[in-house]
Amino acid sequence: MNKKKISEKSRFGFAAVAIGIALLFCAMAAFSQEVPDGNVSAANSTVDMLFMLIQIQADVQGSLNDLDSDVANASQDLSATGLEGTAARDVLRKLLESNPNLAEAVTFSKDGKVLMAECSGCFEDGKDNEGADTGSQDLQSIHSTENLSKPSIEQIARVLKTKAPDFSEEYQMTEGYNGTALTYPVFSLQGELQGGIATTIVPDKLMNALVAPQLCFDIYNRSNITDYSFWLMHLDGLIAYDRDESQIGKYLFEDPLYKPYPSLLALGEKMITARSGHGYYSFQVTEGNKRVVTKESYWTTAGLHPTFRTNSQICQ
């Protein structure tokens, strides 16, 4: 949760999609397939595209709901255990073990200080006793007050002020991947605010698990044996997920790669303002393949909390 954020413009990263208000998970997912010459099998292609779009939308929504429920339950468990100690650490470890899409979990006090930290798969030798304790201490030191990133500090402050769950912006972890945080307040059994729990989600890992089965997508070499592709975009234009891995982290409305393609930029604007829709755009096959093709696109939306909305788009 500490580390450098990608850009100030992604401050409400995984927040509010499509309505342009800066909230928390804001992402748009897009399927794409090159438009074939003529009208051969056009109806079948449309049906296939929409089916996969709806399926992935349902999978995304279900995964977000499950994550949200598990973090909410962990916050309830911490009400009984407190935010520090062996029992609290067990709550964090159980949460990570049951959710492979979570990279780490921390507790923080009502003063905003991180009290405990656990991560998934980041300790050498898989030690559960001394090795894990030492690793946890090292991880907690990374999350010390002086090392916390600005978006982490801001999110913790929001949760303590609103006493409500919150999704953070997406930002780059020091390990090299992008993450976003889902945070919940923790109350005592008497109903007094004690602090909270913050968890880091790895979008790439989550989306790979949902997209690969639908598109027969090989997550290791980024190859795709179907005619469809899928991409995820934040409301500010940040490409959070794409089959072409080189595009992840670029901004649709700012990066020079996209400027020569006005139809793509226009479609991006439509995706931001509409919860669902259909359109066409022209773009090169991949960053390494300059051949320009026309793609037919469909998108729709999933959401979580008033602060989060995500659009899914499929293109042909």
Listing DSSP states for 186-200 in one string gives EE-TTS-EEEEEEEE
Residue 205 to residue 211: CA distance in whole angstroms: 10
Instruction: Calculate mean pLDDT across residues 137-151.
Output: 74
Beta-strand pair 228-233/27-34: antiparallel
Q: Phi-psi category of 191—alpha, beta or left, where left has phi over 0 and alpha has psi -120 to 50?
A: left
The model's pLDDT over 164-191, given as tens digits with 9 standing for 90+, comes to: 999 876 776 655 567 888 999 999 999 9
**301 φ, ψ to 5°?**
-130, 145
Of the candidate ranges 103-117, 118-132, 264-278, the one whose mean pLDDT is the lowest: 118-132
Average pLDDT of the residues in 214-231: 63
Between 275 and 96, name the one with better pLDDT. 96
Q: Residue type at 204?
A: D
35 beta partners = none
Q: What band does 262 get if pLDDT is binned at 50, 70 and 90?
A: very high
| CA quadruple 72, 76, 82, 84: dihedral, nearest 10 | -30
CA 135, distance to chain mean position in Å, is 25
242 alpha-carbon distance from chain centroid: 13
Q: According to the model, what pLDDT value does residue 111 have? A: 95
Q: Is the pLDDT reported for residue 221 higher than 60? A: no
Residue entry with tokens 């090392």: 147
Identify the DSSP state of 172. E
pLDDT tens digits, one per residue of 57-79 = 888 888 888 999 999 999 999 99
Contact 166, 155 (CB under 8 A): yes
The pLDDT confidence band at residue 206, using thresholds 50, 70 and 90, is confident
Map tokens 């921390």 to a residue: 106
The number of CA neighbours under 13 Å toward the Cβ of 244 is 17
Q: Which of 146, 77, 158, 106 is nearest to 1 (CA)?
A: 106
Is the confidence at residue 134, as pLDDT, over 70? no
Average the pLDDT over 144-152 and give the result: 78
Label residue 42 by pLDDT band (50, 70, 90): low
Predicted confidence at residue 83, as pLDDT, reads 98
* C-alpha–C-alpha distance, residues 204 and 224, integer Å: 16
The confidence score (pLDDT) of residue 312 equals 53
Tell me the mean pLDDT in the region 92-98: 96
**pLDDT computed for residue 227 by the predictor:** 65
SS3 124: helix
Confidence at residue 110, expressed as pLDDT on a 0 to 100 scale: 96
Report the C-alpha gap between 114 and 128 in whole angstroms: 22
Q: What is the pLDDT of residue 77?
A: 98
Q: Which domains does the chain have, with CATH numbers?
A: 8-63+204-315 (no CATH), 68-201 (3.30.450.20)
> Any idea which of 41-50, 156-165, 195-204, 216-225 has the lowest mean pLDDT?
216-225
Distance, in Å, from the CA atom of 226 to the CA atom of 272, rounded to the nearest integer, reads: 27
Residue 159: pLDDT band by 50, 70, 90 thresholds?
very high
- Residue with the larger pLDDT of the pair 155 and 38: 155
Single-letter amino acid, residue 284: Q
